[in-house]
Structure 1
């Protein structure tokens, strides 16, 4: 982090008095923040934190819904969720990051929550490069030149792509499961049977039966993925329902199905992104400072840390978070995720 940003952070921290003071000063978009201090519901269980206000902004081909917490003048952190999750994967982690003086922005990806396409004519495209283009468009719309990026699942892949193709826009990166940039060429190669089994839903989505099944059963489908991907995470119904609302987006099924079909070469994407995909197919290295995180109980398909370490050529660290942490690491281990964001900003 530059001396200028350090000085700005010291001024912010000194005036905010971190903690309750920070909440009073800057967390205008936060509801139930007291849950981190032990607030309980009627059953005695902790109340899940939530975002009180979702803002909207036109950015590229989308009107993007996003939550924002923390001081408006703080260094910017953009957090990107995956499938089948939503912005609430970062609800608790966002509070912790904002309390350290950062402006935290958490957008709904295309096909989720309140994010909408501006035109009915736009292809409901889910290919990997277009999600990164959406992030750049959001940054431009919010007049953010540079940000720290963090994410998991689709969000980690998207953050990887921004860091690889637009390093001038990415100050640093926290990537759950490390390097996730792929290509249709790689996606078309067969894997050992055990590895193929873990991608069962990708093959299901390749069929019309799978599209119809996901359309009809998206909540049950998502809950099953949560259970398989995080087998030791005991989430409750309220926590799931809070995120499941994002799947009611009218474009959700189309974007999700296209994302997985594109990986198998069953969807061609859009020609205007061919040049970006060609660059990504070369598996570009990532030069920005990076911390890669992994949960010790991640039940979703994911690469081994040793397999991707060489793709990060800048300052780099990898950590496996213990205690039964699964795929949705930011929500299951919010303190570890928040600590990584604050640490990588200092690299």
Structure 2
């Protein structure tokens, strides 16, 4: 039995012969770095397509100094905001002709982040975007790759790096002032986990806003971003006298609060008003439709990509970029009675 010889991949010289040009001209077309006459470029591209020639990525990187690949290190793929931000980054990178290597982490510790950097360095990336919003990243001196463009998303880590984030403090202030403006004497808060930078900034802004308006500051109830933790908080709030307004640090916990209040026979917003944070697509379908703070995750992703690309191209991006939020008023908030 004779074996069928494997088909040889077409080379740059094969393309040059097919197009009637030099191998150097084919290389110029493949890398896109040097100017080639339009008719010559078209002839070379047609020859590549006929032969099924695929330019060697390593060779292109050697010539251009770029791999056209970026790395993304992300903690928690399960949250709505993280996935929307990642989608925007991937879309922008693809449009610009870059591929993306994602490394999700179970825990944002020094060893896990350092290990992720090492893996990305081995996979030849031009830059890295970090989306890790846990205090543990800031408690240790995570060694960043020397000379590697890096952009940090949603973090208070004090590195000399470009940082892009939603204006968390503005959003929490909008939610709290909205409820105070409806005549509520104070606003109770269901906060996210203590290790979250986002939760901390929203919690501090909520507290500061109450103090500035001369309102009492109730003890916040801590959740973990899930609807289940919101439900547990809602049960406590329903049983607490004097509660008329609640600001939940995300829409999922607000959903749990709504369910607990309904089960306890408390009418929303007649008895208790509820405001969330995120404006996830389902928020308008909650019962009642949820008043919430809209985060523009797509804008955060786009800003992160543009900042990283600027660094890759040798420009100096801005130090910090805050994307504004907006309050979306629906039926879950009403005047105090």
TM-score (norm 1): 0.33
Please tell me whether Structure 1 or Structure 2 has the larger radius of gyration of its CA atoms: 2
TM-score (norm 2): 0.34
